[in-house]
Amino acid sequence: MAGYENIKDYGFDKRTAEERRELAIAGGKASGEARRRKADFRKTLNLLLTEKIDSPEWTPVLEALGVDSTLEAALNMAMIKEGLAGNVKAYEAIARYSGQSDRTESDQKNVEADTRIKEARAGMEEEKARANENEETADDGFIDALSGSAAEDWADEED
C-alpha cells in the first residue's frame, strides 16, 4: 500500500491503562484549548464584521439600501458585485450562505431522515454490544459432556 510506511504506530495497544488515560487527558485538554481558541476567533471576527465603516465606495450604496455601513455589509456587497460580474464562485457562495441550496426541500428532508435512521441504528448496535458484554452464557454442561466422552469417541475410530 502506497504511503503505508508513513503511518506512525503509537502503540496504544501496548500501553498501560494509566498511560492511555494520561494521553486521553492530555488530548482532552488540547481539544478544549483548540475549541476556546476557535470560539475566541469567531467572537473577534463577529465583532470586527459588525463594526461600522466609513468607506467612500460602500457607505453611500449601503445607506441608500437602508443597510448599516458595516464591514459585513460591505463584504456581502462586494461578493454580490463579483457575482454580477460573472464570478460563479461568488454566486455559489451567495446562494449557499443566503440559505438557497441546489437541493430541493424534499431532498433535504430525505437526507435528514436518513441521518436519523443511521443514528438510531448506531444506537441499537451500541445497546446490543453492551448487552452482549453484560450477558453471561449459562453453563449447560455440554462442554463437560464432550470432554468426558472425547477419549472414548477417538478410541472407537482407531479400532
Q: Which pLDDT does position 134 carry in this prediction? A: 66
Q: Which pLDDT does position 109 carry in this prediction? A: 82
Q: pLDDT digit of tens for each residue in the chain (159 aa)? A: 567 777 766 677 778 889 889 988 999 999 999 999 999 999 999 999 999 998 899 999 999 999 999 999 999 999 999 999 999 999 988 888 887 766 666 777 888 888 889 888 888 888 887 777 666 666 666 666 666 665 666 665 555
Q: Which pLDDT does position 152 carry in this prediction? A: 65
Grid cell 463437560 in the structure block, residue: 144
Q: Which pLDDT does position 14 carry in this prediction? A: 79
Q: Which pLDDT does position 153 carry in this prediction? A: 61
Residue 52 C-alpha cell reads as 461600522
Q: Is 52 helix (H, G, I), strand (E, B) or coil?
A: strand
Q: Which pLDDT does position 98 carry in this prediction? A: 84
> Which neighbouring-strand residues pair with 52?
70
Residue 139 C-alpha cell reads as 453453563
CA dihedral of residues 28, 11, 19, 129 (deg, nearest 10): 70
CB atoms within 10 A of CB 36: 10
Q: Which pLDDT does position 141 carry in this prediction? A: 65
